[in-house]
Amino acid sequence: MSAEADCIFCQIVAGELPGAIVDSDERTVSFMDINPATPGHALVVPRTHAADLMAISDEDLEACTLAARRLARRMDEALAPAGFNVLNSCGTAAWQTVFHFHMHVVPRYADDPLKLPWIPGPGEPGAIAEVAARIRGDG
Ligand code: 5GP
Ligand code: ZN
């Protein structure tokens, strides 16, 4: 496993910092978030340091995604939430604050007060089509 000096999640993976670990396998470790958005909020990280979604290997991303679902299933049994948000923030502009890739698994409850800062509103069809073409590379 390659660790990065001063990375708090590498230190949790290595057992050098305390973490309430709830799941692990050969590629991933999952532990409770110290600032839970809702009761049960946990993080899934790769054992090998990768800063973000752009940097993580395909194999570790797959392992983290499967670990997030495994955790959600386990929480479903243990906590009986009404649903989940599974989130990744990539980059400072997207609110990433810890630069070791992680997926948030946030159990949701019928009347929980969590507000994600996203208020959906209708898009302009022409603008959606134009940006879709740019992403495809034919714009
Ligand atoms: P981000 O903002 O990068 O998407 O999420 C980072 C998350 O890591 C935050 O939800 C924050 O509460 C959590 N966090 C930051 N430092 C620690 C720590 O030392 N231990 C644990 N367990 N979680 C942490
Ligand atoms: Zn790290």
SS (H, E, C) 70-116: HHHHHHHHHHCCCEEEEECCCCHHHCCCCCCCCEEEEEECCCCCCCC
Residues with Cβ–ion distance below 5 A, ligand 2: 4, 7, 9-10, 49, 100
Give the pTM: 0.93
Please state, in angstroms and rounded to a whole number, the distance separating the CA atoms of residues 67 and 56.
Answer: 15
CA 8 – ligand 2 centroid, Å? 6
CA 81 – ligand 2 centroid, Å? 30
CA 36 – ligand 2 centroid, Å? 20
Residue 58, φ and ψ in degrees, nearest 5: -55, -40
Catalytically annotated residues = 102
Q: What is the pLDDT of residues 101-122, one digit of tens each?
A: 999 999 999 999 998 876 778 8
Residue 1: the pLDDT is 66
User: Which amino acid residue places its CA nearest to atom 13 of ligand 1?
Assistant: 33
CB of 84 within 8 A of CB of 112? no
Per cent of the chain over pLDDT 90 is 86
User: Which amino acid residue places its CA nearest to atom 20 of ligand 1?
Assistant: 34
- From the number of C-beta atoms within 10 Å of its C-beta (0-12, 13-18, 19+), residue 42 rates as buried
Which of 48, 12, 50 shows the shortest CA–CA distance to 30? Answer: 12
Q: What is the pLDDT of residues 11-66, one digit of tens each?
A: 999 999 999 999 999 999 999 999 999 999 999 999 999 999 999 999 999 999 99
Among the atoms of ligand 1, which is closest to the Cα of residue 35? 12
Checking if the pLDDT of 100 tops 90, the result is yes
Which among 21, 32, 97, 116 is the best mutation to test ligand 1's pocket, defined by most ligand atoms within 8 Å of the CB? 97
Please state, in angstroms and rounded to a whole number, the distance separating the CA atoms of residues 27 and 109.
Answer: 30
Please state, in angstroms and rounded to a whole number, the distance separating the CA atoms of residues 93 and 71.
Answer: 27
Residue 120: the pLDDT is 72
Among the atoms of ligand 1, which is closest to the Cα of residue 37? 10
Positive or negative torsion for Cα 3, 4, 6, 7: negative
DSSP 123: P
